[in-house]
Amino acid sequence: MSAILEVTLDPDREYEIVNGQPEEKPMAGAGHGGIEVRLMWRLAKHVEENNLGGVYGPDTTFQIGRNERLPDLSFVSAARIPEDGEPEGKWPFAPDLAIEVVSPNDLWERMNDKIFEYFDAGVQQVWLLSPERRTVAVYDSPVELRVLTEADELTSEKLLPGFRCRVSEIFKSPARG
């Protein structure tokens, strides 16, 4: 007789499904969230003004190969959005752009595996933001990347024509009033 293992998931937490198993996505800190919002605001504004598609936050699930992933931010081009609009549940495919903000508890191997996984599923570009180094690594493939510093501008002519954002603006802390 085989035993069935029953797993109870906390409804207040977010999980990715990796290799058929739920994997908790740890809660991010204020700095992590601030970086996400500053970039999301700039990205969403540009995408909406130019009718390029949709920008999605960290609670949007995508089918990435056999896994279900929640990138910190993502972009789906207008051409890939179904006529009937966004799905009620997860996106059944990978986004065009996946963006991850490195957390203090992220391991290099796991982040690197995720980058390969994204490209294997059809993601066209991955941005990896490092709050510690204040850099953005723009991956055009798992092994082709350019690293931008605070002095550089973040662009993506292939996915987001005309988008420009100084890297320093993404990592800038809010002003004290």
Summarize pLDDT for 61-74 with one digit per residue, the tens: 999 989 999 999 99
User: How many whole angstroms separate alpha carbon 29 and alpha carbon 55?
Assistant: 21
Buried-exposed string 12-28: b where 16+ CB fall within 10 A, e elsewhere: eebbbbbeeeeeebeeb
Summarize pLDDT for 63-113 with one digit per residue, the tens: 998 999 999 999 999 999 999 999 999 999 999 999 999 987 777 888 899
The reported pLDDT for the residue numbered 70 is 92
| Nearest Cα to Cα of residue 96 among 135, 144, 145, 62 | 62
Enter the pTM of the model: 0.83
The reported pLDDT for the residue numbered 152 is 98
Summarize pLDDT for 10-52 with one digit per residue, the tens: 665 555 556 666 565 556 666 667 889 999 999 999 999 999 9
The reported pLDDT for the residue numbered 45 is 98
The reported pLDDT for the residue numbered 2 is 44
Q: Report which of residues 166 and 33 the model is more confident about.
A: 166
Q: Tell me the β-bridge partners of 138.
A: 127, 146
Q: Tell me the β-bridge partners of 145.
A: 139
The reported pLDDT for the residue numbered 133 is 94
Summarize pLDDT for 113-140 with one digit per residue, the tens: 999 999 999 999 999 999 999 999 999 9
* Residue 177 in this model has a pLDDT that exceeds 60: no
98's CB contacts (< 8 A; 6+ apart) are 62, 69, 71, 74, 118, 123, 125, 126, 127
The reported pLDDT for the residue numbered 5 is 45
The average confidence (pLDDT) of the chain is 87
Q: Report which of residues 24 and 151 the model is more confident about.
A: 151
Q: Is 10 helix (H, G, I), strand (E, B) or coil?
A: coil
